[in-house]
Amino acid sequence: MPAALSIFILLQPEECVGRDGVKSLQFRLSEKNRDVISLFSGAMGLDIGLALSGLNVRVGQDIEANCVETMRANGHHVIKGDIRQIMPEQLLEAAGLKRAEPFLICGGPPCQPFSTAGKRQGINDPRGSLFMDFIRMIDYIRPRFFIMENVKGLVSALVKQGFQTDPDTAYSPLPVLEVILAEFEKLGYRTVYDILDAASYGVPQFRERFVLIGSRDSEDIFLPLPTHFQTHQSPAHRWATLRSAISDLENEPGECTYFSEERMNYLRLVPEGGNWRSLPTDVIPRAMGGAYQSGGGKVGFYRRLAYDQPCPTLVTSPVQKASMLCHPTKDRPLSVREYARIQQFPEEWIFTGNLASKYRQIGNAVPIGLAKALGQTLIAVAEGASTIKTKRIRGTSVHKRINNTIKIRGGVHVN
């Protein structure tokens, strides 16, 4: 991890009024400041990636005991506790920083679980959730940037009751994202957001996450551009495959859970890359049970992974019936070590707790490659180095087409 930076050069103090109406001095910091406060840190997937990009995570926070112990086991400073009971001053003191000094606050405030498929009734208003404590920390601490990540379903979710324009009318649907963006707008942060897939950043896994980046000083922020593609002339820039991540662990997987004997009997009939549709026709109704008549593609039932493509999204357990993650060639689920490889954790990273907790910590993490790309993007913005400026571009039509594509990908939604 990068060493902590102890020297800050404060330039051009600016008077800023927070949401509470209290005036405070805000400063544009030296370009050398790269200090980060991490919230809802979990097993530190996001934090590790940010550190690899050149940022310095000064302190983490989580309420879950095993996550806290994992952070401590790996030598990191952490505040254990419910974010609702933690004051921003505590975070600043633990990080050795003052208001407006942090380069970044990052985290994924938990939302009420909801599905991205099937019937959805909406979720509770985020203004009554831990999201508002994330807002509270940013409002007081005033970091130069923030990163908020969450499940992709947040983009299309609606608040349960919405709002009423008139007492005699029905509730109108209110998008959750609209509520979230409005809160950040109140803080005066410029934002950009979209759904990013970790496979586009060298992660051997399809994993789509909602990412929102904010800038206090209205800098020209953008989302990280993809570095890896399904088709590319250079192998180094094609999607990373499951084989590249775990093939050497076939016979030495380490800690591993197991499928029930009944499920394993069915999985033995499924070839690499197959699922329940690969079972003999007369076996399918018995294997699927009540799910056989249900809607949806059910692609996760009796799924045996394929070595030569990215892994499907890791979930908190590889043995759940609707999202099985069976090894491509071995008759077992993915192991804890294989989970960690797919999420790109360092080989020496220690996970604490029981077997179920280790799977859950890794399955909930932000993949390291995606996190590193996010950190690199903010550093490029801070250093004003994201764009090569020229007086003239030759091959105008070619470069215009490419730049239009980049503009769309890097800033679809800018507020």
Give the catalytic positions in this structure: 111
362 and 43 in contact (C-beta within 8 Å)?
Answer: yes
Beta-sheet pairing, 78-80 with 158-163: unpaired
- State how far Cα 59 lies from the chain centre: 18
Beta-sheet pairing, 158-163 with 172-175: antiparallel
291 and 263 in contact (C-beta within 8 Å)?
Answer: no
Q: What is the dihedral of CA 186, 189, 194, 200, to 10 degrees?
A: -160
Phi-psi region of 138 (alpha: psi -120 to 50; beta: other; left: phi over 0): alpha
Phi-psi region of 30 (alpha: psi -120 to 50; beta: other; left: phi over 0): beta
393 and 399 in contact (C-beta within 8 Å)?
Answer: yes
**Which one, of 71, 70, 51, 69, lies nearest residue 3 by Cα?**
51
Rounded Cα distance, 117 and 309, in Å: 24
Rounded Cα distance, 318 and 334, in Å: 6
